[in-house]
Amino acid sequence: MQASKAELVVDARHGTGESPVWHAGEQALYWVDIPGRTLNRWAAADGHRQWATPQMPACIAAVAGRPGQWLAGMEDGVHTVTLGSGSQAQLTALARVQHVRPGMRFNDGRCDRQGRFWAGTMLMDMGAAARVGVLYRLDGAALQPVLGDLITPNGLAFSPDGRTMYLSDSHPDAQAIWAFDYDPDTGTPINRRLFADMKPLPGRPDGAAIDVDGGYWICGNDAGLVHRFTPDGRLDRSLEVPVKKPAMCAFGGAALDTLFVTSIRPAGDLSDQPLAGGVFALQPGTQGLPEPAWQP
């Protein structure tokens, strides 16, 4: 365990705060609240604001060359989301998905180093432990299924050189992180192998980020921790947050040396974690990488 005091950035109280993305041009953090159906923005200069979305947003990426526009994996597919001066976001459907069964939505997702968008789907009834999740790559206006047999796909990240792809499954029956060799020219992952078995470690593997040295940072959901794994799969440090369910992390700040962490606010007695659902900032002692935008 490494000491690093978590600072509360936004007392958002979101049901499931997910997909934090640092926008360097605006010096602002964006993220979503999945069940709250909002896309959120925070900047030190002007605070927190949010836009309502007609579907549950799960993962986002900025759109290259289009200020105020984002790409989002939602319930029925991938949409472009335009943010304006009002409180409602405007959606335009880009690629619909044919889910394996009803009751599914997108979950974790992001762009590779070349600006290709990747996202996975899951059955919202996690108690069913159904292996119906699919990892998709967005090719133009079509979603290409690449990997199946997943329950709750999560932890998607790409190494600094773009030649290793990481993916986790955060369901209690899985709790694994895999690494793949990744062809940056074709966007093809091969040679899947176990990177880390999280079952004997504290927390389930949720959302992730990569630092400049190739360290893989992943939220330990249920344990109130953010773990760092070295590129060879060794756990070398864990940082605490004051909530049980950190959901996803992202590097940000002017020097990309702050680790922002979103979280989940579960139902029930929260007297021991009143800040659940908030957004926190840690000083991890390293720097991250700029988050690639989607290249339309």
Residues involved in catalysis: 206
Distances (CA, A) of 185 to 20, 137, 139, 163: 26, 14, 13, 10
Q: Comparing C-alpha atoms, which of 83, 146, 84, 161 is closest to residue 109? A: 146
The CA-CA-CA angle for residues 50, 53, 57, to 5°, reads 95
Token pair for 92: 């335009």
- As a residue count, the chain comes to 296
Q: Are strands 164-169 and 153-158 parallel, antiparallel or unpaired?
A: antiparallel
Q: Is-contact 194 176, C-beta < 8 A?
A: yes
